[in-house]
Amino acid sequence: MRAISSLTAVMLSGFMTCATADSLNDAIVEQVDAVTERVVEWRRDIHANPELSNREFRTSALVAEHLRSLGIVVQTGVAHTGVVGVLKGGKPGPVIALRADMDGLPVTEKTGLPYASKARGEYQGREVGVMHACGHDTHVAILMGAAEVLAAVKEDLPGTVKFLFQPAEEGPPKGENGGAKMMIAEGALQNPAVDAVVGLHISQGEEVGYASFRPLGLMASAQRFDVEIVGSQTHGARPWAGVDPIVVGAQIVNGLQTIVSRQVDITQHPVVVTVGQFEAGVRNNIVPETARLSGTIRTFDPAVRAQVHEKIRRVVTQIAESQGATATVEIDPGVPVTFNHAGLTDQLSPTLAAVYGAEYLVEPPRITGAEDFSFFQEQVPGFFFFIGGRPADVPASKAIPNHSPYFYIDEGALPLGVHAMSRLAADYLRAGAD
């Protein structure tokens, strides 16, 4: 009799747990519906008022005010302008962090949207347009919405949710610290200690209504390199009287292209070396004394990364020397590979399937873009995924890339993002409590 009673109790317990889970899921859906209109309003407001890395003063104030209105414990000024919120559930359990990045880019918007940015800022000593050309405005609005959803159901949450609103994901200005690495150094993953971290990114890579992720290496590591070339200034009519750093720089640019095309087995190791800046001279008839190049390196393997760095230094210095110039190379530490923890990915992927539908989940190829979310993943198990933002009437061949002045998204992606972040947090906490 005791065996039968015990089995009945287990079955009843399982039924009650299932019923409780279903009721919480229903409550989350209800709260997502209730907050969607405001999420769209927040997103448009943030889009119209973008701020550059480490300068997200207005955005962080908006976030902090919203979190406080929900009864969430708030810490501001983390890594300059970051905001950390702590929401304790009604029951004991693990701690999960949800992250959104807040910074815009030095891009002049050309979308023509009624809420398009007209903001101006200063970047590397220049006046520039400022735009949310990478979708961070949507990330902030989605996480603000998820905070409201989870605060509304907190009594049913077994554990704690930390909200990480991060500055400077695009990289702090040269000479400054910032971003995820600085947030970690200032204790964003402590008090209480975080057990897992989740982040998302929007793009037109997939149509609205789709989500994509892959286990293990998802996005590349990235480092910035800077090259300073010193020649000898002379009159443009007598170039033989000096050493032209522009010609040297042009040869260096061409030489750097051979690293990927001729010196790395790209069938095994995807690599990108791109020169994005080339600056020299002040007048058309003067051969200047100096020239400067700057670019980015993308790799997925630490050993290959070290080899590429060595090859860049060799190409730069030896080409300069062959022309009678000198050149120095600086390569910053950059960010590591965005690496999805295998166990956490297996645990959370059914939640995304529940939100989006299994048929709307995609495993993308490795992405040569980079994310400093990877610093969080070095500290605790992390899961990073993409949500589709391409309008249904735009074919994939016409997708607008992130960082374009024409980048925009279908706002139908917003409630799905709120639902996903809310359910991922709730499901992780429930699994930990069980």
Enzyme catalytic residues: 103, 169
Contact indicator for 178, 167 with CB cutoff of 8 Å = yes
Q: d(Cα 50, Cα 154) in Å, to the nearest integer?
A: 31
User: CA nearest 151: which of 420, 424, 433, 422?
Assistant: 422
C-beta of residue 307 within 8 angstroms of C-beta of residue 388: no
**Closest CA relative to residue 413, chosen from 202, 111, 146:** 202
Residue with tokens 């607008």: 400
CA distance linking residue 63 with residue 93, whole number of Å: 26
Q: What are phi and psi of 139, to 5 degrees?
A: -60, -45
Q: Count Cβ atoms within 10 A of the Cβ of residue 21 and give its class: 0-12 exposed, 13-18 middle, 19 or more buried.
A: middle
Exposure class string for 116-145: b at 16+ Cβ within 10 A, else e: bbebebebeeeebbbbbbbbbbbbbbbbbb
Alpha carbons within 13 angstroms on the beta-carbon side of residue 158 total 13
Tokens of 362: 């995609």
